[in-house]
Each structure stands twice: as C-alpha cells, then as structure tokens.
Amino acid sequence: MAEVIQIKSLKVHYPIRSGFFNRITDHVLAVDGVDFMIEQGKTYGLVGESGSGKSTIGKAIVGLEKVTSGEIIYNGENITKKSIRKGIQYNKDVQMIFQDSMSSLNPKKRVLDIIAEPIRNFERLSDQEEKQKVKKLLDIVGMPEDAIYKYPHEFSGGQRQRIGVARAVATNPKLIVADEPVSALDLSVQAQVLNFMKNIQQEYGLSYLFISHDLGVVKHMCDNIAIMYKGRFVEIGTREDIYNDPQHIYTKRLLSAIPQIDVANRDKHKEERRRVEQEYSQHQQNYYDQNGRVYDLRRFSQTHLVAMKDGGVE
C-alpha cells in the first residue's frame, strides 16, 4: 500500500516569554517526537484530551505551524521547508477542514467565492466553468445549487461544515486534515457529514488525518489510530488493536470512560472501570517516567506499538 505522507520525529515547541524583557524563558512541548504515516485511501485517527497536541500536528502538516525539528515526507520528498512545498503544489494536494466553520469560512464572502478560492490559486477557469465546478462540489456534499449566492451565516452548522468539506475537496487533494470536523454538531447531523466524508473518500481515493477526542466517531471513521498524551503517542495500532486489545493505561482509561448505554452490561462495565483505575494507581511507573513523560513506543505486534518502560511489554 502506497503511503501518502510520513511524519518523522516531529517536534513543535512553542516559546513561553516572560519578564520585563519579554525573553523566551521556557517552551511548551506541544508535539514532542511523534512518528506515523498515512496510506493512500485510508483514514488515520488522532485521539487525545484537550491540549495534547492534536491540532498542532495537523497545522504542522498543512504548513500553518512551524516545525521545531523532524521531517514531513510527502511522496518521497521532504516538504518541511516552505520553499519545497511551493515547488510541488503541496498546498493544492493537502487541505484542511476546521472544527468551527463559523470562523473558518469568511463571513463576508458568498459560498461561490469561498469554495472557488482554492481553485483560483491553482487553475484558470472561466466564470462559467468555475460556477459549474462549484455547483458540482455542492452537489457532492448534498447541498442545493442556489447555495452559491448565499453567505455562511445563512446556513446551519451542519450545512456550513459540508461547505467546508466541499471547499477542501475543490482542488482534488490527496490528503485532508480534518480537525474535529463534526464536534460542534448534533449527533444526527454528525452522522450525515461523516457519511459524506466517507463517500468522497471512496470516490476520490483520498486520505484523511482525522482529529477527534470522540472515541466513538474515531471508531466509525478510522483504519489506524494514534492515542496522544502531552505531545507524545502512548499507543498506535489498527482500529482492532486499539479497541479490542488496548495496552497502555491511558488508552484503557479513555475507553473505560465511554458512557455505557447498554443497561445489561452496566455492572460489567463498572467493574472493568474499577479494575483499570486500580491498575493505574498501582502500575503507573510502567507507563510514565519519573517526570511523567510518556516512554518511547515499543513494538507489541506487527501493527501495534505501545509506549512502555523497557521490559514493560511482552
């Protein structure tokens, strides 16, 4: 299977300034050494609590955040430097969908101009051709043609998110970074938008980096998953590895914290949760070093890697 993008030892550290001279006194280690790759046509999930560094990884990949160290390899080329991204039209091939469409879609622009903007950067189309193309993109995400003359505020949250999807696919990209694309939506609307995203993926052979804190949504969407904590990966694997055979205590705690709707299994679930919490209090040192830092990943199986102390796995 061909890989679309490979991330190697990526670090993004933000300076903290303080004092009278506003000097850099420390750094936030937002992303602190992560490695992964995304295959063509697949969805890679990034999960973790607020502040764990998910968006920072997404922004570094699309070039919105400066990389402190490490490499981003796209189609065999190191595109970590901006000049190289320009040379290969990287900004056409890799697009982003944001969580909050109200602030990410320009409120003063009509939908036509919003969706056509990325096209205009890379293609010369006549007004007529452009209009046709935008209407087709709207159709793909289940929106009516006449939406092109309206403004973002005239739509519901779910409709705006679909406009965001149409905009992201306008340049026929290879990879879309979707940062919490449905987190602001009602459950029923979430399902709609996710289904459009899946259909588009099949039609275009797209890859997604799918960022979410919702383990239910991730299970529905992702082939491979990385669980993130404090800028590091605690565990990566296939969907089955993560949901059926979690190894890191952080992953286990996340999974056991999912509310159980199934009444019949409630007691069993409660018991499981108690067991996980007990393991956490007794064996934390297997999972975090003395500074609370997540260990490096070790291979647990062909597809499954877990961050544990030397000798902690197997």
Binding-site ranges for ligand ATP (CB under 6 A): 14, 28, 30, 48, 50-56, 213
Nearer to Mg ion, 55 or 171 (CB): 55
Nearer to ligand ATP, 30 or 276 (CB): 30
Chosen from Mg ion, ligand ATP, none, partner binding at 51 (C-beta under 5 to 8 Å by type)? ligand ATP
Exposed e or buried b for every residue in 63-88, given b needs 16+ CB within 10 A? Answer: bebebbebebbbeeeebbeeeebeee
Least spacing, CB of residue 18 vs ligand ATP, in Å: 13
Chosen from ligand ATP, Mg ion, none, partner binding at 50 (C-beta under 5 to 8 Å by type)? ligand ATP
Nearer to ligand ATP, 49 or 129 (CB): 49
235, 205, 186, 174: which is closest to 46 by C-alpha? 235
- Is 212 among the residues that bind Mg ion (CB under 5 A)? no
Other CB atoms within 10 Å distance of the CB of residue 187: 9
For residues 56 and 237, the answer to whether their CB atoms sit within 8 Å is no
Alpha-helix runs per DSSP H in 124-183: 127-140, 157-169
Chosen from ligand ATP, Mg ion, none, partner binding at 237 (C-beta under 5 to 8 Å by type)? none
53, 55, 128, 149: which is closest to 97 by C-alpha? 55
One-letter identity of residue 96: M
One-letter identity of residue 201: Q
Least spacing, CB of residue 179 vs ligand ATP, in Å: 7
Nearer to ligand ATP, 60 or 242 (CB): 60
Q: How far is CA 115 from CA 69, 105, 120, 121, 140, in A?
A: 33, 9, 10, 12, 13
Chosen from ligand ATP, Mg ion, none, partner binding at 83 (C-beta under 5 to 8 Å by type)? none
Least spacing, CB of residue 164 vs ligand ATP, in Å: 17
Nearer to Mg ion, 15 or 51 (CB): 51
Residues 69, 70, 72: CA angle, nearest 5 degrees: 125
Residue carrying the six token digits 């056991």: 256
Nearer to ligand ATP, 14 or 204 (CB): 14
Least spacing, CB of residue 179 vs Mg ion, in Å: 6
Of residues 43, 55, 192, 256, which one binds Mg ion by CB under 5 A?
55
Chosen from Mg ion, ligand ATP, none, partner binding at 48 (C-beta under 5 to 8 Å by type)? ligand ATP
Chosen from ligand ATP, Mg ion, none, partner binding at 167 (C-beta under 5 to 8 Å by type)? none
Nearer to ligand ATP, 28 or 184 (CB): 28
Least spacing, CB of residue 26 vs ligand ATP, in Å: 11
Q: Which burial class, exposed, middle or buried, applies to 250 when counting CB atoms under 10 A from its CB (0-12, 13-18, 19+)? A: buried
- For residue 237, report the phi and psi dihedrals to the nearest 5 degrees: 180, -175
User: Which region holds residue 235: left if phi is over 0, alpha if psi is between -120 and 50, else beta?
Assistant: beta
Least spacing, CB of residue 210 vs ligand ATP, in Å: 13
d(CA 130, CA 115): 10
Chosen from ligand ATP, Mg ion, none, partner binding at 14 (C-beta under 5 to 8 Å by type)? ligand ATP
